[in-house]
A and B are shown apart, each in its own frame.
Chain A
Amino acid sequence: MQMGEARSLYNHLPGLLGLGAMLLLPAVVPDPYIWGILVMANLYAFLAAGFDILLGYAGLPVIGYGLFVGVGAYLAALLNLSFGLPPWLTVPLAGLGGAVFGLLLGLSCLRLKGLYLALASFAAAAICEKVVIVFYDLTNGHEGLSGLDPISSHPLLDYYLSLLVMAAGTAALLMVVRSKVGLVLNSIKDNQEAAEAVGIDTTRYKLLAFVLASFLGGVGGGFLGHYTMHVGPNMFGLHIALTIIMIAIVGGLGTITGSIGASYLLIILNEALREVGEARLLIYTVITVVIMLALPKGVMPPLLNLLHRVLRRLTPRRRRGWKGGLGDASDT
């Protein structure tokens, strides 16, 4: 028992340290401009964690992940602008809207994997993008809807709210994947037929992955829309989805928490590279390609490994109480 507790505390150390650092960050860097960037980093971490459930756990390459982000954003915008609902209501409703679309897409793509799923999800997202553009009476076409209520009235509050959403989202996902669900999803990813042969209802679990991921996508889209006070059809598009996918990959698929580190790395890098100007997306993509080739498991698992090694050297031998194993994230 004691051993277990020590182990779990030990395993959560990096996470707790990270959370502490994020909580204290605004005190160290008292600059609203930086806070604004970190809000985006939090949101993208949240969205990438949602994508990770699909590709990293269930092996579903839903390239049209932007569908859920866009649906969430537009739903929040319409509820806020037409019915005057406040952000604390519209953002969860956006998540529900996203989940409905996730369920629909999941139901229509039940038997699909690989290329077919990638293309079908891309097509679904692109169709929604085009539909939003064509029906401009409601959606204002290319230019999107502006004038949404801001998330809060203060940049510091924005930061802490985004941190709360991100932490709650990733914690919930971690709980899910550390339960039986994670194991089942992984077994579907490895061999769906085998999973079915042992009597697992793979359909239910795949739909669950779709619903979870699309709920996160919707919440992220709604939050993003309120935060920038604007939503546009490009939120459905490939560029935002690709940014999310790159973050999930750089962080390490199948880790959930990896997305946080990668999001902070890439979003901050992206803003810092503004000075370089036009080359920044290129640098971004090159980093991702190199990481995919050199570190197929992403950055976070080896980083945690390193951290653990350092921590182990720092802690007295007798308090360690367990051997090997580096926590779920890097247990690969």
Chain B
Amino acid sequence: MAFRPRPRPERPTPGARSVLIEILIYGSVASAVYAMLAIGLSLMIGIARVMNLAHGTFYMLGAYGVFTGAVVLGLPLAAAFALSVSAVGCIAVALNRICLRPLKGNIDAMLVMTLILALMFEEVIQLIFGPRPRPVPYFIDGRLLIFGVSVPDQRLLVVAVALGVILGLWLFIARTRVGGAILAVAQDPEAAALMGVDSGRITLLIHFLAAFLAATAGILVSPFLSTNPGMWLWPLVKAFTIVILGGLGSIWGSILAAVILGFSETIVSFALSSRLTELVALAILFLVIILRPSGLMGSRVGN
């Protein structure tokens, strides 16, 4: 037998325990991103009655917005962030006014229109920034050691910001007058109108909020996921999967479903192969629609 050099001591092989912790951490990161995407979409479908297949576009625009602000213009990160989310929010409002309102609630037309709009924005981004992924620098460097698993801070930031934003949204809806108006429209649009709530303005507000959430998600993941013109599609599919699994219009249902999807994808990619994660989302989407269209909570309003 030929002599072979003895392997040098490496870091100890991570055992089953640390794999579990990793699943816990990466599952939470994925769930946090999905929750931000899905809550906005759920509001949009459940309250504004807009079937928006361009929702993933806001996620993409958020990422490119922060790239433009932070890398191209060289703004400080906070400024780039604020600029990006407000710009995306305004785009969402403008899209509603220009392209969706004239369709007067025709759901089929809305579906097709928003899908074509998504494709249009993909092309616009591709023309401006090129088809190749654009690198966004890390917002915070460094890593944290959690039970022996080293996790990049950027990923933990995603979870922290998502929790903050979702909590803020909940307080806004539960504690403010405008939030009350949103709830009123959600429960009974006609009654709300009689009470003097302008449902048109609520619709626009919801578009802004939904786009804000999606853009925030896009911005937070842009440093470690790929920022490219096609990045809108899968987050969109996953957001719809969550919204339908959780039940349309139910925020808590969306959060629960986001956690379910985030963790099942992470478990599948650890246990089997990361090639299958998208199939997981698609299979859940298809099966839930076919077998239990009302989702875990909430009701069907999609038709």
Contacts and interface: CB of A to CB of B under 8 A. Distances in A.
Interface residues of B, number: 40
B127 A116 contact: no
Interface string B105-141: 0011101110111011001101100000000000000
B108 A114 contact: yes
B66 interface: no
Given A109-B290, A115-B111, A282 B123 contact: yes
A109 B117 CA distance: 26
A57 to B, nearest CB: 12
Contacts of B285: 119-120, 123
Interface string B289-303: 110010000001011
B283 A55 contact: no
Contacts of B282: 123, 126-127, 130
Interface string A107-118: 011011111101
A63 interface: yes
A63 B126 contact: no
A61 interface: yes
Contact of A61 (B99, B112, B275, B286): B112
B263 interface: no
A123 B241 CA distance: 10
B278 interface: yes
B302 A116 contact: yes
Contact of B289 (A59, A63, A116): A116
Interface in B67-108: 98-99, 102-103, 107-108
A120 B127 contact: no
Contacts of B276: 134
Contacts of A37: none
Nearest to B234: A126
Contacts of B99: 289, 293
Contact-size category for A: 35 or more
B233 interface: yes
Nearest to A61: B108
Contacts of A285: 116-117, 119-120, 123
Contact of A246 (B116, B124, B240, B286): B116
Contact of A120 (B98, B112, B290): B290
Given A61-B112, A115-B111, A289 B302 contact: no
Interface in A223-251: 238-239, 242, 245-246, 249
B279 A127 contact: yes
Contacts of A126: 237, 278, 282
Contacts of A5: none
A289 B120 contact: yes
A286 B119 CA distance: 10
A131 B282 CA distance: 11
Interface string A25-64: 0000000000000000000000000000001000101010
Given A123-B286, A245-B115, A288-B116, 20 more contacts: A55-B108, A61-B111, A61-B112, A111-B293, A112-B293, A114-B111, A122-B237, A127-B282, A127-B286, A134-B275, A134-B276, A134-B279, A238-B115, A242-B115, A242-B116, A246-B116, A285-B123, A293-B98, A293-B99, A296-B109
9 contacts: A112-B289, A113-B303, A126-B237, A126-B282, A127-B286, A130-B278, A246-B116, A285-B119, A296-B109
